[in-house]
Amino acid sequence: MQRLFLFTLSFLFLYSCKVKQENPIALKHKTSKNAMIVSANPWASKVGTDIMKQGGNAVDALVASQFTLAVVYPRAGNIGGGGFMIIHTPEGKNEALDYRETAPAKAYKDLYLDKNGNVIPKLSTYGGLAVGVPGSVAGLYAAWKKYGHIKDWKKLIEPAINLAKNGFPISKAEAYRLNKYKADFVKYNPNNQVFIKNEKWKEGDMLVQKSLANTLQIIADKGPKGFYEGPVAQAIVNKVKKSGGIILAKDLQNYQAKFRKPISVDYRGYKVISMPPASSGGVALGQLLKITENYPIKKWGFHSQKTTQIMVEAEKRAFADRAQFLGDADFYHVPIDSLLNDDYLKHKMTDFRWQSATPTDSLMAGSYTLHKESFETTHTSVVDQNGMAVSCTTTLNSNFGSKVIVDGYGFFLNNEMDDFSAKPGVPNQFGLIGAAANAIAPHKRMLSSMTPTIVTRNGKVFLVVGTPGGSTIITSVYQVILNTIDFDMNMYDAVQAKRFHNQFLPDEIMYEEGAFSQQVIDSLQKKSYHLKQVKALGYVKAIMSKNNILEGSGDQRNMDDTVDGF
Ligand code: DON
């Protein structure tokens, strides 16, 4: 009896060691020779690496990691949201993939206004009416179909299915989030037993998602049709309707991911390739870099007073243009070439004076929400053995999106509708304003700030970079690029370096502790810049390729960011 007890005990001990061993850890920095992936979660990075080890390319790895994130990172990884991708092929071709959500057919310009024309609080951020038609499944499938190397689509979803079916131990950060949003989960999903527990979630608890595993199996078996048609689609329509929304079966049936020509600008001998509308990311990043190129910031130094002033003034101007000109280019003429024209950008800086901050246009009135210091979107960077690279940012918008879970199918739906301009000049949850260019219309894509980016030199990948962070995405990506190109930082330092952000309105420079010396702070304040310290700006995930070595870095700001590779 005693022997049996000891045997069982040692078996359990060995088994737990094995399980422990198999749990990947969150590694923030790594170099490798062949292939690399950086994502927001150790499981997702492991799955991506395994796929590349089995002969998959960067797109295969990306797709597998995204389905995994939908399981292990439910606050932002998703099948109920949307995203953007930049793909660089070994032959040197660059392409953008837009799988942003669309407004439902029944949506209209004043959807979120009361009868007095005021924006109704929370209507575009919580519940069914906040949900845009999801694009993720269509987007991932389109990427794989065109660029994937692994023939069997199912193989890319299998690891996610297993993690959903068998469960995985949640991280401390994930436990915190699940506890924080419990009341919202209960409000919109009173019967859900997966995310709602009586006791508090804690690190190491197993999250088992049988219904999500079933949904993923349907997508594995049937492809996008398994999501956009049939029982899953019907369940989405039913739950959205029950939660006050307007998505119809034909909205889902008609959803299409779109390949687009990326935005491409030259910066000090490098080519910066980023996302065109429906994201503002590429145009704004292009403007920032082209303005910066006219100034010797390397000579002035990292975050010196002069460098900072130029960067801040460039940011103000780019965000002012974003508010006025950017929206879904399939619906509204976005003057991309003019916005990136050298003379136009030089002209934009002619009213800049070193003596004092350029005042923001007082005509652009509005009240501004405080900056949110949480990061609900998620970015993944991948480079494979053959020099193919993918930069992909995806989101449900807020943490767990609209908080609406599709009953019986186990996944959250986005609240991306808040990224439209509900009313000209009235800020959204990121304090961003907009107007006609980003007004709501049926089937239109809401304007994004997501900035998945690849930088090449002589046609070869130099940098793959992106981050969550709402409006701060654009300026975080901008700063990491300057850190590597102008300030010669290695990948790790470039990602960890302190950041700042100015988005025109509100009229303030947000900055992380330690971003500026006291002298620079004093001098900026004297010039009537308003400064506000914030906790963190962005969770950057990036890979640099230099002298045939890949160097990857996750962000120390995000506990679970993980680099993996071989
Ligand atoms: O598309 C956008 O710009 C936003 N929906 C991104 C949201 C985001 O990054 C949330 N994290 N802070």
CATH number (domain holding residue 345): 1.10.246.130
Q: Is the CB of 270 under 6 A from ligand 1?
A: no
> Within this chain, do residues 254 and 266 fall inside the same structural domain, yes or no?
no
In a domain, 457, yes or no: yes
- Edge-to-edge strands of the sheet including 270-274? 29-32, 549-553, 541-546, 460-466, 453-457, 270-274, 263-267
How far apart are the CA of 494 and the centre of ligand 1, in A?
22
> Within this chain, do residues 173 and 212 fall inside the same structural domain, yes or no?
yes
In a domain, 558, yes or no: no
Among 124-133, 168-177, 360-369, 553-562, whose mean pLDDT is lowest?
A: 360-369
In a domain, 228, yes or no: yes
pTM flag (> 0.85): yes
> Within this chain, do residues 388 and 301 fall inside the same structural domain, yes or no?
no
Residue of 275, 376, 377 with the most ligand 1 atoms within 8 Å of its CB, for mutation: 377
Q: Is the CB of 380 under 6 A from ligand 1?
A: no
Which residues participate in catalysis according to the annotation? 377
Contact 319, 509 (CB under 8 A): no
pLDDT at 374: 66
> Within this chain, do residues 246 and 300 fall inside the same structural domain, yes or no?
no
Q: Total structural domains in the chain?
A: 2
pLDDT at 376: 86
Q: Is the CB of 558 under 6 A from ligand 1?
A: no
In a domain, 47, yes or no: yes
> Within this chain, do residues 70 and 216 fall inside the same structural domain, yes or no?
yes
> Within this chain, do residues 116 and 44 fall inside the same structural domain, yes or no?
yes
**What's the rounded mean pLDDT across residues 83-109?**
98
Q: Is the pLDDT of residue 21 over 70?
A: no
Q: How far apart are CA 129 and CA 142, in angstroms?
A: 27
How far apart are the CA of 399 and the centre of ligand 1, in A?
10
Residue of 131, 396, 430, 510 with the most ligand 1 atoms within 8 Å of its CB, for mutation: 430
Q: Is the CB of 561 under 6 A from ligand 1?
A: no
Q: How far apart are CA 483 and CA 479, in angstroms?
A: 6
Tens of pLDDT, residue by residue over 171-180, are: 999 999 999 9
In a domain, 237, yes or no: yes
**What's the rounded mean pLDDT across residues 395-411?**
98
Residues 158-194: b if buried by 16+ CB within 10 A, e if exposed: bbbbbbbbebbebbebbbbbbeebeebbeebbeeeeb
How far apart are the CA of 315 and the centre of ligand 1, in A?
18
In a domain, 394, yes or no: yes
DSSP 367-396: --PPPP-----EEEEEE-TTS-EEEEEEE-
> Within this chain, do residues 400 and 287 fall inside the same structural domain, yes or no?
no
> Within this chain, do residues 268 and 249 fall inside the same structural domain, yes or no?
no
**What's the rounded mean pLDDT across residues 150-154?**
98
In a domain, 233, yes or no: yes
Distances (CA, A) of 523 to 78, 238, 322: 44, 57, 28
Helix (H) or strand (E) holding 14: helix 2-22
> Within this chain, do residues 316 and 402 fall inside the same structural domain, yes or no?
no
Q: Is the CB of 81 under 6 A from ligand 1?
A: no
Q: Is the CB of 132 under 6 A from ligand 1?
A: no
For ligand 1, atom 2, which residue shows the shortest CA distance? 448
Among 2-6, 143-147, 421-425, whose mean pLDDT is lowest?
A: 2-6
Confidence of residue 3 (pLDDT cuts 50, 70, 90): low
In a domain, 249, yes or no: yes
Residues contacting residue 509 through CB under 8 Å, at least 6 positions apart? 312, 500, 501, 502, 524, 529, 530, 531, 532
Q: Is the pLDDT of residue 1 over 70?
A: no
Q: Is the pLDDT of residue 58 over 80?
A: yes
> Within this chain, do residues 166 and 311 fall inside the same structural domain, yes or no?
no
Mean pLDDT for the chain overall = 94
Chain centre distance of CA 169: 24
pLDDT at 360: 82
pLDDT at 367: 37
Confidence of residue 363 (pLDDT cuts 50, 70, 90): very low
Number of other CB atoms surrounding residue 29 within 10 Å: 17
> Within this chain, do residues 399 and 368 fall inside the same structural domain, yes or no?
no
Q: How far apart are CA 250 and CA 45, in angstroms?
A: 35
pLDDT at 375: 73
> Within this chain, do residues 381 and 526 fall inside the same structural domain, yes or no?
no
In terms of residue numbers, what domain contains 331? 262-374+450-546
